[in-house]
Structure 1
Amino acid sequence: MAQLTTSEKRTAFHELHKAGCFLLPNPWDAGSTRILESLGYKALATTSSGYAWSQAQADGQLSRLDTLAHMRHLAAVSDLPINADFESGFAATPEGVFESVGLAIDTGIAGLSIEDSTGDPSNPLREKSEAIERLHAARAAIDANGGDTLLVGRAENYFVGRPGLDDVIERLVAYSEAGADCLYAPGIKTREEIRAVVQAVAPKPVNVLIGWATDLTVEELSEMGVRRISVGGALARAAWGRFISAARIMTEEGRFDGFLDAPTGADLNKFFSSVTSR
């Protein structure tokens, strides 16, 4: 279980955002959290998709109650700051966002993001004025609960099929002015897009999602001014990919090649025995 206090983890998380560039990988359960801890990462983030898949659900189908329980669990098992993928705040109104964010803060997470997507395929992106009101509500909830939880404002244009860099930048600047500590536009991929977003919201830090194979490197993203890099559900997808491949080889070809390079049971038992006895 975690030894650091929530306050200590939140302080450390804010410090990470002041300079440099750090990786923010996304575990989906206690085991993947502990593995990432052991590899030297300085902070972690939940993944709504990765956790949903582990529960045989599609991304966006889990309830607020399920999500809060998951956040509380990961915050309790790790000494690293946890940034929560809190989707769109699990509320239809700014008042509801205020309530949800208050509940999220109580789980012990160090930061959380609020999206501007609606979940409605026919109208997937909230009007900017509405999204700004919701960010104000999230900021107010954080300020009413100590003020030390980091708030991330997300522009979901590229994820919901409404790409347009000008609108993304307008939204992120507005979210920054509404109180977001960090800005995030998942789905931007080109160097030009990334540089434009970083420059538009400076000096506020920017999160870039890398959830696909790319020739971009951590060093190059750092040189562009990116402050943090997350991978969303990519690690979970990688794990599912190996699992599905191994299972298909067995049933379709009658072979067991899919187990190549897998860690031994003894290795995993040794690792998890050491981290649970700390």
Structure 2
Amino acid sequence: MTDLATRAKTLLDLHTAPEVLVLANVWDVVSARTVAAVEGVKALATASHSIAATFGYEDGENIPLELHLDMVRRIVSDTGLPVSMDFEAGYGDAGATARRAIEVGVVGGNLEDQMKPLDEAVAAVEAVLAAGRDAGIDFVLNARTDAVVRAGDTPRPQVIDEVIRRGQAFLAAGAPVVFVPGLLARDEIKTVAEAFGPQKLTVISVPGASLPTSELQELGVARVSTGPFTQRVALTALQDAAATVIGGGTLPEGTRALN
């Protein structure tokens, strides 16, 4: 458990450092090895959407937890870096799922609130953090609020107010950082980051829509992840290469032997 505690402390320190932590999400061992080999990578994070897709499941806890955890275990066993797992909304019992994730070597995780009543969402956050304490580690919970992605036609100021209300409640419960997917506009990121405090906000990088990571760092963002988009980048390259060679061309020049 000492090694696990060390990895957890390393991951927490990466979130609280002034430099933004950028995590290119992975979904299997070879993607984890490929990302880990990039200079400057100090931690790994899995993408639940991408792991589910790897096995032919739709996103949203449709992949059996056993299968999901087995892939995460394989990733953890193959790397010396701290690993954070996206365990969606906790598969019905956030604390129990966190305990099982810790058992396979995970030291951090994402937990969706899915806009459940705030007291229920806070209780889930507390359960995950308690699982970490019981295991003797400072589990790095990236507590996620879906206030933006599920906002619908709600006026934007109300949406941001709800983001802040929920995020501050998760921080008060002990979560070190709060993840707000869908938060893309500079002024909104600035507002939320200031409300949470320095190095407390996590956002996702969306192709063609997000601010550069260097600018997000200036705004006080703690962490930038990529969710399913790294897998989509890989699949786009695969489909484009297949179309080219099937259409009479050749595979891309400069393709590297990364496996």
TM-score (normalised: structure 2): 0.89
SS at match of 1:83: strand
1:66 partner amino acid = L
SS at match of 2:227: coil
Cα distance in 1, alignment partners of residues 138 and 236 from structure 2: 38
Cα distance in 2, alignment partners of residues 76 and 8 from structure 1: 16
Q: How far has the Cα of 1:148 moved from its partner? A: 1.9
Q: Do residues 209 (structure 1) and 204 (structure 2) align?
A: yes
Judging changes above 3 Å, is the alpha-carbon distance between structure 1 residues 33 and 67 closer, same or farther for their aligned structure 2 residues?
A: same
2:131 partner amino acid = A
Q: How far has the Cα of 1:160 moved from its partner? A: 3.2
1:59 partner amino acid = D
Per-residue Cα deviation, 1:58-102 (whole angstroms, up to 9, x for no partner): 2122121122112211111111111111100111xxxx2222211
Q: Do residues 146 (structure 1) and 146 (structure 2) align?
A: no
Q: Do residues 110 (structure 1) and 117 (structure 2) align?
A: no
2:135 partner amino acid = N
Structure showing greater relative contact order (alpha-carbon pairs closer than 8 Å, 6 or more residues apart): 2
Cα distance in 2, alignment partners of residues 261 and 157 from structure 1: 44
Other-structure match for 1:43 = 43
Q: Do residues 263 (structure 1) and 240 (structure 2) align?
A: no
In structure 1, runs of 5+ residues without a counterpart are 118-124, 273-278
SS at match of 1:168: helix
Within a 5 Å distance, the mapping from 1:85-104 to structure 2 comes to 85-91=86-92, 96-104=93-101
Q: How far has the Cα of 1:204 moved from its partner? A: 5.2
Q: Is the 8 A contact 2:17 2:199 kept in 1?
A: no
Within a 5 Å distance, the mapping from 1:55-134 to structure 2 comes to 55-60=55-60, 61-91=62-92, 96-117=93-114, 125-134=115-124
How many residues get paired?
250
In structure 2, runs of 5+ residues without a counterpart are none
Q: Do residues 15 (structure 1) and 10 (structure 2) align?
A: no
Q: Is the 8 A contact 1:209 1:232 kept in 2?
A: yes
Per-residue Cα deviation, 1:23-61 (whole angstroms, up to 9, x for no partner): 111011111111111112111110011111211222122
Cα distance in 2, alignment partners of residues 227 and 261 from structure 1: 37
Q: Is the 8 A contact 1:75 1:107 kept in 2?
A: yes
Judging changes above 3 Å, is the alpha-carbon distance between structure 1 residues 215 and 203 closer, same or farther for their aligned structure 2 residues?
A: closer
Q: Do residues 159 (structure 1) and 157 (structure 2) align?
A: no
Other-structure match for 2:27 = 28
Per-residue Cα deviation, 1:75-133 (whole angstroms, up to 9, x for no partner): 11111111111100111xxxx2222211111111120111111xxxxxxx312222112
Judging changes above 3 Å, is the alpha-carbon distance between structure 1 residues 196 and 52 closer, same or farther for their aligned structure 2 residues?
A: same
Cα distance in 2, alignment partners of residues 203 and 263 from structure 1: 40
Cα distance in 2, alignment partners of residues 134 and 22 from structure 1: 25
1:30 partner amino acid = V
SS at match of 2:109: strand
Q: Is the 8 A contact 2:241 2:252 kept in 1?
A: no
Q: Which runs of 4+ in 1 moved over 4 A?
A: none
Q: How far has the Cα of 1:262 moved from its partner? A: 5.5
Mean alpha-carbon deviation: is it higher for 158-167 or for 26-35?
158-167
Q: How far has the Cα of 1:249 moved from its partner? A: 4.3
Other-structure match for 1:122 = none
Cα distance in 1, alignment partners of residues 249 and 108 from structure 2: 42
**Identity fraction in percent:** 29
Cα distance in 2, alignment partners of residues 22 and 133 from structure 1: 27
TM-score (normalised: structure 1): 0.83
Cα distance in 2, alignment partners of residues 263 and 189 from structure 1: 33
Other-structure match for 2:241 = 246
Aligned-residue Cα RMSD (Å) equals: 1.9
- Residue 194 of structure 2 is aligned with which of 180, 194, 199? 199
1:67 partner amino acid = H
Per-residue Cα deviation, 1:156-192 (whole angstroms, up to 9, x for no partner): 1223344611111111111111121111101110001
1:98 partner amino acid = G
Judging changes above 3 Å, is the alpha-carbon distance between structure 1 residues 205 and 32 closer, same or farther for their aligned structure 2 residues?
A: same
